[in-house]
Amino acid sequence: MKYDFTQYVTKDSVMSLDGRNKLEIMDQLITRAADLTKLNRDVIFRLTWKREQMMTTGVGGMLALPHIRVNDITRPYVIIGVCENPIEDYQGQDDQPVRVVVFTVAPDENQEAYLQLLSSISRKLRNSALIEELVGCVGAPARILEVIKREEA
């Protein structure tokens, strides 16, 4: 059985992002992550930017997968943001603007589960048709949730 990240996606963890650059959209995602996890927003911010400085999480195909591990939570949180505007400064591996961002905040203690979670996200979202469909759902978080939860055909 494959690990499925969608079990951690809820109506509260999908959103449209109205920022015009990487900092603005990451700020929105970090704020939502702090609300959901009850962790200190500044801690999430620092860990996220430390990770981004090591290597961009823009993976190409209009997709970015920022991710951090933290103490003090017992389960992963997966926040999906669809950008209203193409994010030109995200530095994706293919130099294309980012439109879909999946931000993962996971417990620090289980490396294997963390890698399985990231692999599950990557496996499902490497489908360019799915990314295009998600971009078409901008402004409709309920529809984003429906599309992301839909089983693969």
Amino acid identity, position 138: V
Q: Is a pLDDT exceeding 50 seen at residue 110?
A: yes
Closest CA to 45 of 115, 53, 91: 53
Provide the 10 A C-beta neighbour count for residue 69: 17
Amino acid identity, position 51: R
Amino acid identity, position 111: Q
Length reported for the chain:
153
Q: Is a pLDDT exceeding 60 seen at residue 1?
A: no
Q: What is the pLDDT of residue 152?
A: 55
Q: What is the pLDDT of residue 153?
A: 37
Mean pLDDT confidence for 95-102: 94
pLDDT digit string (tens) for 4-55? 899 999 999 999 999 999 999 999 999 999 999 999 999 999 999 999 999 8
Q: Which fold has domain 5-149?
A: Mannitol-specific EII; Chain A (3.40.930)
Closest CA to 86 of 107, 62, 111, 122: 62
**Between β-strands 77-87 and 67-70, what pairing exists: parallel, antiparallel or unpaired?**
unpaired
Top pLDDT among 153 and 82 is at 82
Q: What is the pLDDT of residue 95?
A: 86
Mean pLDDT confidence for 98-118: 93
pLDDT digit string (tens) for 50-98? 999 998 899 999 999 999 999 999 999 999 999 999 999 998 888 899 9
Q: Is a pLDDT exceeding 80 seen at residue 3?
A: no
Q: Is a pLDDT exceeding 80 seen at residue 151?
A: no
Q: Is a pLDDT exceeding 60 seen at residue 138?
A: yes
Give CA–CA dist 36/21, Å, rounded. Answer: 23
